[in-house]
Chains A and B, each alone.
Chain A
């Protein structure tokens, strides 16, 4: 059976945070009482159970598990444990090649980290963002640089071998130097993985409004660009190779779960706002926590086949699937395997997009060879323009 015919990853969403960051446009909410979280965990387990009965696609052996948010670690160890045991019981947690949990450094301590390790997570992704308190404050983060360093240290002690730190560049109060300082400090921790994002000002977020109104000063374009270039350079020197536009890893320690997305392979996702993809249909659950809880209570096997209002579905046509597969695949430095595209979609990419690809090759934005099409570092810099070729 082909990889794109089985779920290769399982995602579980926790839409809660202690405080919403100023730049965040994810489905995540601060301020729900404990009772709602408890109900949410119940609803989540119900969705996991019911959907396992549906047998939409088989779950691949070793399919990855990823607990994201929001902040999964605002849930108690017991709550997380309950979700994991439900996953296991229903066959979604099946000796995963990788089991990751995201954590906000302000929400974990040595004990909790140890417990997470014992539950079965072998990879942790810490939302460090910056190691400058001023910058953290300007983003609306709840933790300090000290807490971030401490949490990383504790994660190591708890036995996590695979630790990722999320970093951001182009954020308020940041300078090229302060960012270099953050990079230097983080590298001293010898982590195996770094995700380094340039800030995206998402419409509707407080930070976007503040920036628009001139109430917060962002680094200028030149500085942001220098940070972007510096990231690749500094991390490479430390042995962390770029393998996706914003992701760096010690070779062999790349995130298996995220690679499922970029390879456009099927994944199941549970929770409010979570988005599943079975290779043909995309299903997005309501992001409204209370509606999700209510909807989940009404779930039954029969209802799965009808519209319960719990989710919306979208079925990208073949052409859209191809363009999505290209957009996602070209994010990786390894690029897109053209033979796999041929097998999966019956399309000769070089022939169908010949004219567009030739322009990318001429402009040195892409390279072709060894059966793959991939973007050059220059092409990644202008990724959106390269992706447009396949839209």
Chain B
């Protein structure tokens, strides 16, 4: 090209035209015309709608191409209205000053389980839009996410959304932002992502207020892997933020943490569909493929550098995501064990936070003990296994990781109730605690406190956000949170309370293992760890719940709860007296056979434990037993 300057110029011009048609040519984008930003918000405050609108208004996708909430592409995300995996979208925006800017928008998950992913996304940005619902005001996750953004030194642009609602009160929200978060809200942008009002002001604010990246194309390559995704054709796709240097197809790269090297087969950006480009330059966000076989080889948080001219120092990485919630996953059909393992491996390719290791239960056979970031993460994984991999699964009740100090001085971490050691060798048991932030209208403070007290919470403090709303802090055992704290918090506050929490450390607790016996035989997968004071009540409720869940059989089934050898509660599943179709003649055969087939199919979803048939819900009984209260 060097020898044909004219031709090259034509080429450039052509490419420039293509860029205006929505295909980027970033070689020509000055660094001060790049903006990398995230949107942070409490769930339901309109983050995804705003993202859709931004994409639409920058012309990245025409209105016709817009699919509602385009970024939430997983079915599950759409159904639940949440974002689980990060997405990164590039668009070109022509600002009012007449110049084109490259906007790289990195979407973040909105649920507390995925705070870890939020912090990863934020590390790749220079700024964040803090979206707050004009009628709801600040909620617990607004705060948590803002603190994460501040930790990452991001420029925060407050956006007050849903101003089209009759109940919108932007002034009050502005005051809350200043009082509670302590950032200047005088220039907060007012908008309605739904109607599109104010969205152009947001785009201008992004250009004007979020700093351009400080970077250099000529320094050795340094790019942060902020996410990864497995593609069955291309191998692992690395989502990157380039800090210095450039990445091109054909280049040899090195992962600084592992030292592994690869040849780049593709570089590209998301618009939001992946589009290949020639080069990713410093300050930009995009992806690369390099025939990387497993996510383990190219960890999220690692730094990509040029194998030929490596950088001296890697970028600061991330702390590793620590699973906080564990449960057993077992195939209903033992023959599905290998399929389950394959499916977990595949999911793990995209989700490093998912841990799993083989486990054997006397009741359930071969399965896996799996670790998750939280309950939602667990539900999502379970549903994906069932839907995408068509597996019939039994999930045991979730639990936290207990730390056990033994009398012999050993320390053991236990992530499975059935592995809880004999009480005689236990000196102390500690369990994880969280600091919970609850924001709630003041009328419900009493109810929230009562609930938190019941859940073994320790009150810490309370502040008034305004004359109506308060923020309460409680120290709570994580195990209580993962059971039904959130559901009950919602119901005791008529849906108004919001909750966020962060792990605060381990504290000793007087915990005991409650075993469940069916027909006199202990069923390991039904064991639960509970506080000694609650053991009696919990044991009773658990057997009551199990009695109602276990279908009646030809014989009566005693269901007992026991601590050690001591039975603390018992219920009996009464025997079914008869079960037979009284009438069957010539015309009935088809219908009666189908009836029996249906009945048999229902039983196939049950797990035979000894002589007892247990429905899948039985293993989660501990989660549903407080519902009627």
Cα-based distance from A323 to B584 in the complex (angstroms): 14
Residues of chain B contacted by A331 (CB below 8 angstroms)? 584
Q: A384-B596, A384-B599 are in contact. Are A282 and B579 (CB under 8 A)?
A: no
Q: Is A221 an interface residue (CB 8 A)?
A: yes
Across the interface, do B577 and A328 meet the contact criterion of CB distance under 8 Å?
no
Report the 4 A-B pairs with minimum CB-CB distance, sorted nearest first. Answer: A383-B580, A225-B577, A275-B587, A197-B582
Counting chain A CB atoms within 10 Å of each CB, which of B587, B592, B596, B603 scores highest? B587
Residues of chain A contacted by B587 (CB below 8 angstroms)? 269, 273-275, 284
Identify 7 new A-B residue pairs, CB closer than 8 A, beyond the known A382-B580, A384-B596. Answer: A9-B586, A200-B582, A261-B589, A267-B586, A327-B584, A327-B593, A385-B579
B590 nearest CB across to chain A (Å): 6
8 A Cβ contacts from B42-72 to A: none
Cβ contacts A to B, 9 pairs, < 8 Å: A11-B586, A277-B589, A327-B584, A327-B596, A380-B580, A382-B554, A382-B578, A383-B581, A384-B580
Q: Is B309 an interface residue (CB 8 A)?
A: no
Q: A388-B603, A391-B597 are in contact. Are A228 and B592 (CB under 8 A)?
A: no
Cα-based distance from A385 to B585 in the complex (angstroms): 19
Chain B proximity mask over A218-235: 1 for CB below 8 Å, otherwise 0: 000110110010000000
Across the interface, do A324 and B582 meet the contact criterion of CB distance under 8 Å?
no
Contact of B578 among A225, A282, A284, A363 (CB under 8 A): A225
Contact of A269 among B586, B590, B597 (CB under 8 A): B586
8 A Cβ contacts from A265-298 to B: 267, 269, 273-275, 277, 282, 284
Chain A proximity mask over B253-269: 1 for CB below 8 Å, otherwise 0: 00000000000000000
Chain A proximity mask over B372-408: 1 for CB below 8 Å, otherwise 0: 0000000000000000000000000000000000000
Q: A274-B587, A387-B596 are in contact. Are A245 and B582 (CB under 8 A)?
A: yes
B579 nearest CB across to chain A (Å): 5
Residues of chain A contacted by B599 (CB below 8 angstroms)? 384, 388
A136 nearest CB across to chain B (Å): 19
Q: Is B583 an interface residue (CB 8 A)?
A: yes
Cα-based distance from A154 to B584 in the complex (angstroms): 29
Residues of chain A contacted by B593 (CB below 8 angstroms)? 320, 323-324, 327, 391
B residues apposed to A, CB below 8 Å: 554, 576-587, 589-590, 592-593, 596-597, 599-600, 603
Across the interface, do A327 and B592 meet the contact criterion of CB distance under 8 Å?
yes
Contact of B582 among A198, A274, A320 (CB under 8 A): A198
Residues of chain B contacted by A11 (CB below 8 angstroms)? 586
B629 nearest CB across to chain A (Å): 25
Residues of chain A contacted by B596 (CB below 8 angstroms)? 327, 384, 387-388, 391
Contact of A246 among B577, B582, B590 (CB under 8 A): B582
Cα-based distance from A380 to B581 in the complex (angstroms): 10
Cα-based distance from A384 to B581 in the complex (angstroms): 7
Chain A minimum-CB-distance residue to B580: A383
Cα-based distance from A225 to B582 in the complex (angstroms): 12
Chain A minimum-CB-distance residue to B592: A327
Contact of A382 among B579, B584, B590 (CB under 8 A): B579
The tally of residues in A whose CB lies under 8 Å from a CB in B reads 41
A119 nearest CB across to chain B (Å): 23
Cα-based distance from A2 to B476 in the complex (angstroms): 77
8 A Cβ contacts from A335-391 to B: 363, 380-385, 387-388, 391
A231 nearest CB across to chain B (Å): 11
Residues of chain A contacted by B584 (CB below 8 angstroms)? 261, 327-328, 331
Cα-based distance from A306 to B584 in the complex (angstroms): 30
B366 nearest CB across to chain A (Å): 21
Residues of chain A contacted by B586 (CB below 8 angstroms)? 9, 11, 260-261, 267, 269, 275, 277
Residues of chain A contacted by B583 (CB below 8 angstroms)? 197, 200, 246
Contact of B589 among A222, A328, A391 (CB under 8 A): A328
Chain B minimum-CB-distance residue to A387: B596
Residues of chain B contacted by A267 (CB below 8 angstroms)? 586
Q: A284-B587, A327-B592, A384-B596 are in contact. Are A221 and B582 (CB under 8 A)?
A: no
Across the interface, do A384 and B582 meet the contact criterion of CB distance under 8 Å?
no
8 A Cβ contacts from A143-157 to B: none
Residues of chain B contacted by A380 (CB below 8 angstroms)? 580
Q: A246-B583, A258-B585, A269-B586 are in contact. Are A391 and B578 (CB under 8 A)?
A: no
B166 nearest CB across to chain A (Å): 42
Chain A minimum-CB-distance residue to B585: A261
Cα-based distance from A198 to B580 in the complex (angstroms): 9
Cα-based distance from A85 to B176 in the complex (angstroms): 94
Residues of chain B contacted by A307 (CB below 8 angstroms)? none
Cα-based distance from A9 to B585 in the complex (angstroms): 12
Residues of chain A contacted by B577 (CB below 8 angstroms)? 221-222, 224-225, 381
Cα-based distance from A371 to B499 in the complex (angstroms): 70
Cα-based distance from A350 to B210 in the complex (angstroms): 78
Q: Is A177 an interface residue (CB 8 A)?
A: no
Q: Is A317 an interface residue (CB 8 A)?
A: no
Q: A384-B596, A387-B596 are in contact. Are A282 and B589 (CB under 8 A)?
A: yes
Cα-based distance from A320 to B589 in the complex (angstroms): 11
Residues of chain A contacted by B582 (CB below 8 angstroms)? 197-200, 245-246
Across the interface, do A383 and B579 meet the contact criterion of CB distance under 8 Å?
yes
A246 nearest CB across to chain B (Å): 5
Residues of chain A contacted by B597 (CB below 8 angstroms)? 391
Chain B minimum-CB-distance residue to A245: B580
Residues of chain A contacted by B585 (CB below 8 angstroms)? 258, 261
Q: Is A314 an interface residue (CB 8 A)?
A: yes
Residues of chain A contacted by B578 (CB below 8 angstroms)? 198, 225, 228, 381-382
Cα-based distance from A155 to B113 in the complex (angstroms): 78
Across the interface, do B600 and A200 meet the contact criterion of CB distance under 8 Å?
no
Chain A minimum-CB-distance residue to B552: A221
A2 nearest CB across to chain B (Å): 19
Chain B minimum-CB-distance residue to A246: B582
Residues of chain B contacted by A198 (CB below 8 angstroms)? 578, 582
Residues of chain B contacted by A324 (CB below 8 angstroms)? 589, 593
Contact of B554 among A199, A273, A277, A385 (CB under 8 A): A385
Counting chain B CB atoms within 10 Å of each CB, which of A267, A273, A324, A384 scores highest? A384
A226 nearest CB across to chain B (Å): 9
Chain B minimum-CB-distance residue to A260: B586
Residues of chain B contacted by A260 (CB below 8 angstroms)? 586
Residues of chain B contacted by A197 (CB below 8 angstroms)? 582-583
Across the interface, do B590 and A314 meet the contact criterion of CB distance under 8 Å?
yes
Cα-based distance from A224 to B582 in the complex (angstroms): 12
Chain B proximity mask over A313-336: 1 for CB below 8 Å, otherwise 0: 010000010011001100100000
Chain A minimum-CB-distance residue to B598: A391
Across the interface, do B581 and A200 meet the contact criterion of CB distance under 8 Å?
yes
Across the interface, do B600 and A388 meet the contact criterion of CB distance under 8 Å?
yes
Chain B minimum-CB-distance residue to A168: B582
Across the interface, do B590 and A384 meet the contact criterion of CB distance under 8 Å?
no
B583 nearest CB across to chain A (Å): 6
Cα-based distance from A384 to B599 in the complex (angstroms): 9
Across the interface, do B580 and A381 meet the contact criterion of CB distance under 8 Å?
yes
Cα-based distance from A275 to B589 in the complex (angstroms): 10
B584 nearest CB across to chain A (Å): 6
Cα-based distance from A377 to B589 in the complex (angstroms): 22
Residues of chain A contacted by B576 (CB below 8 angstroms)? 382
B552 nearest CB across to chain A (Å): 10
A324 nearest CB across to chain B (Å): 6
B574 nearest CB across to chain A (Å): 9
Residues of chain B contacted by A199 (CB below 8 angstroms)? 582
Counting chain A CB atoms within 10 Å of each CB, which of B554, B580, B600 scores highest? B580
Cα-based distance from A382 to B554 in the complex (angstroms): 8
Chain A minimum-CB-distance residue to B601: A391
Residues of chain B contacted by A9 (CB below 8 angstroms)? 586
Residues of chain B contacted by A385 (CB below 8 angstroms)? 554, 579
Cα-based distance from A127 to B583 in the complex (angstroms): 14
B572 nearest CB across to chain A (Å): 15
Cα-based distance from A267 to B582 in the complex (angstroms): 21
Chain A minimum-CB-distance residue to B589: A324
Counting chain B CB atoms within 10 Å of each CB, which of A222, A258, A274, A385 scores highest? A385
Cα-based distance from A222 to B554 in the complex (angstroms): 14
